[in-house]
Amino acid sequence: MEDNKIIELYFSRDESAILHTQEKYGNYCYKIAFNILRSFEDSSECVNDTYIETWNAIPPHRPNILSAFLAKITRRLSISMLRKNTAQKRDNRGNVCFDELNECITDNSQVYDIMEAEELKNIIEKFLLMRSNDERNIFICRYFYGDSIKDISKQFSFSVAKVKTTLHRSRQALKDHLIKEGVFCE
């Protein structure tokens, strides 16, 4: 079923919207959750919560791109669960790709204490627009979707070394950009 028809089902409060969403985007949402959480049970829980949040968000929201809307919800829920799990001293293997960014976006005083999250988001979006398509796509796959370096190399037909080098250079460029913007101090 096409996305606009699924969205119309949500607007008419037809519960089959959830089934159609699950059929079309269930695996997509699960992959995002699993890449962050590395747990089958927690990932399934986040995907189910994604359907509930989508039901509650549409209406009033009318997403332009349903897959991106679902990805954003799934990612937010997964990161929230990851924080909860690591606060409880559970396994934190899902933190790996986020730990890579720590050198760019945190220091002794957290970035979120310095500026609003929306400002940081805008600065990172501006940074990404200045990058090549390949660099931007690799960055987004790693740090938004949480894809492994091996999966990214397969997806783009790059060597693992090229992906690692691109990510390293991107993180360094992001750090330099954040310093220039006054967000991060060395």
Name the maximum alpha-carbon separation found in the chain.
53
Residues of the chain below pLDDT 70: 88-118, 183-186
Domains of the chain: 3-87 (1.10.1740.10), 95-180 (1.10.10.10)
- Global confidence as pTM: 0.69
- Rounded to 10°, the helix 3-11/66-87 angle is 70
Which pLDDT score, from 0 to 100, does residue 98 have? 60
Q: For the segment 51-95, what is each residue's pLDDT rounded down to a tens digit?
A: 999 999 999 999 999 999 999 999 999 988 988 887 765 454 555
